[in-house]
Amino acid sequence: MKLYSKNQVILCTIAGAILAVLLTSAVFRFFSRTKNNSADASGISAASTESPEETELAVFETASVKQTVRPVSNDITYTQDELQNISVYDACNGAVVNINTKVTAINWFLEPIVEDGGSGSGSIIDKRGYVLTNVHVIKGATKIYVSLSDGTQYEATVVGQDEDSDLAVIKFTPPEGTVLQTISFGDSTKLKVGQKVIAIGNPFGFDRTMTTGIVSALGRPIKNSSNRIIRNMIQTDSAINPGNSGGPLLDTSGKMIGINTMIYSSSGNSAGVGFAVPAETAVRVASDLLKYGRVRRGVIEVSLVQLNNTIANYANLDIAKGVLVSRATKGGNADAAGIIEGTQAARYGNTIIYLGGDIITKIDNISVTSIADYYSALESKRPGDVVYVTVHRNGKDRTVSIRLADPSYKDKPAATYGI
């Protein structure tokens, strides 16, 4: 039997203890690593059902949901001015019509052909199909067509027209059972400068276009394309363009206080200076056109010559403005009032005129310097009205009163000489 020394036993004991510690540590590490790997494997397996992109998307969607949770109002609010505009347009646009015309022209072979004429606007003033518009919109037309807001189109006929006010009434016949929307007249005598106005028309063919503006001025005397002076015109800065003629100028209650008639512009387009015939005139003219087919105006029974420098120098007159009484109807209202006619015959162009008569310079304190002024001063006068006429005779002015007559339409004095 082999015996070990004391020192050998101690060394063996220490070596065994160290080996035991190392083995224990190795076993512990092995089991710890296995457990961690199992946990990682389980985590990977669970995470594999959702990609990183999907995770980000989920976060984004969650954020979006949080954002859309905020309450959103669907109510649209309008200002008082906008509500007013909308109300007027809804109430009136259906009564505004588009007017197109056909005219007869001559081609290169001197044959008559039909061509497109002008276009404009109009207002339905009666449920039977009567439309108020401007004379210049339908002038020279062989065919007139009226287009309604629903797209239907009808051929119209002329009921009557009045060059002195540039107003005309035409009529179309709607199908039986059709209910037409109409526009009522307002009171243009109560208008104030600065008052809001609304125009509806068909500028450049864009049907039922609305523009807004104000009354820029009142009482404007404006000469139209027919060389007539229309008094008391309403001036507005509401945009009026070609195609607006004949359309309504409305107040904020939807009443027609004027008929858009002309613009002042160097380019032919709106420059913020438009003019409308006042409703006061339109009511009177339309009523006569509907009833008589013409306007019953009182007249002075004379033939007139517009003065100019040539006639004044030839006749040795001391004034060169006014209208000269060439002839006065025997027994007529001018003759009865003491108006003196001319006695000296003279040839003026291709016409024989008579010099030496009275020169009319005023009617009811309205200055008369031309034929246009003369007719303008009488435009609103009815048969039977009394007017005060100032005449220049032998270098002096005197005033006489004349009761206006009601001649037949064809006998209306043609006072167009000397223009």
pLDDT at 39: 47
Same fold, 98-172 and 302-411: no
* Single pTM value for the model: 0.71
pLDDT at 412: 45
pLDDT at 404: 95
The helix or strand, by DSSP H or E, that contains position 230, with its residue range, turns out to be strand 229-236
Percent of the chain with pLDDT over 90: 60
Residue 136 appears among annotated catalytic residues: yes
316 neighbors 389 (Cβ within 8 angstroms): no
pLDDT at 124: 97
Instruction: Look up residue 171 and give its amino acid.
Output: K
Q: Indicate whether 414 pLDDT > 50.
A: no
| Mean of the per-residue pLDDT values of the chain | 84
The full DSSP string for 79-96 is: -HHHHHHHHHHHHHGGGE
pLDDT at 283: 95
pLDDT at 69: 53
Quick one: 302-411 is in which CATH superfamily? PDZ domain (2.30.42.10)
Mean pLDDT value across residues 233-239 = 93
* 255 or 65, which is more confident: 255
Residue 51 appears among annotated catalytic residues: no
268 neighbors 256 (Cβ within 8 angstroms): no
277 neighbors 249 (Cβ within 8 angstroms): no
Please tell me which residue in 123, 136, 165, 238 is annotated as part of the active site. 136
The helix or strand, by DSSP H or E, that contains position 119, with its residue range, turns out to be strand 112-126
Please tell me which residue in 121, 162, 164, 166 is annotated as part of the active site. 166
pLDDT band, residue 30 (cuts 50/70/90): low
The helix or strand, by DSSP H or E, that contains position 99, with its residue range, turns out to be strand 96-106
pLDDT tens by residue, 257-286: 999 999 887 666 656 789 999 999 999 999
Establish how many alpha carbons lie within 13 A of residue 144's alpha carbon, considering only the half-sphere containing its beta carbon. Answer: 27
Q: Which three-class secondary structure state does DSSP give residue 62?
A: helix
pLDDT at 109: 84
Please tell me which residue in 245, 303, 326, 376 is annotated as part of the active site. 245
> What's the longest Cα–Cα distance across the chain?
187
Q: For the chain, what are the domain ranges?
A: 98-172, 188-292, 302-411
* 112 or 146, which is more confident: 146
Radius of gyration of the chain (CA): 46
249 neighbors 259 (Cβ within 8 angstroms): yes
* 269 or 244, which is more confident: 244
Q: Beta-carbon neighbour count of residue 419 at 10 Å? A: 11
Q: Indicate whether 387 pLDDT > 90.
A: yes
Mean pLDDT value across residues 239-254 = 92
What's the sign of the alpha-carbon dihedral 138, 143, 146, 151?
negative
Q: Mention the CATH class of domain 188-292.
A: mainly beta
Question: The domain 98-172: what is its CATH number?
Answer: 2.40.10.10
Contacts of residue 259, Cβ cutoff 8 Å, sequence gap at least 6: 123, 132, 133, 134, 167, 246, 247, 248, 249, 276, 277, 279, 282
Query: What's the angle, vertex CA 230, arms to CA 253 and CA 124, rounded to 5?
Result: 40
Q: Which three-class secondary structure state does DSSP give residue 173?
A: coil
The helix or strand, by DSSP H or E, that contains position 42, with its residue range, turns out to be helix 6-47
Residue 184 appears among annotated catalytic residues: no
Question: Cα separation of 294 and 237, whole Å?
Answer: 32
Contacts of residue 378, Cβ cutoff 8 Å, sequence gap at least 6: 297, 298, 299, 300, 363, 387, 404
Please choose, from the candidates 324, 327, 323, 302, the residue with its C-alpha nearest in 3D space to the C-alpha of residue 372. Answer: 323
Q: Which three-class secondary structure state does DSSP give residue 364?
A: coil
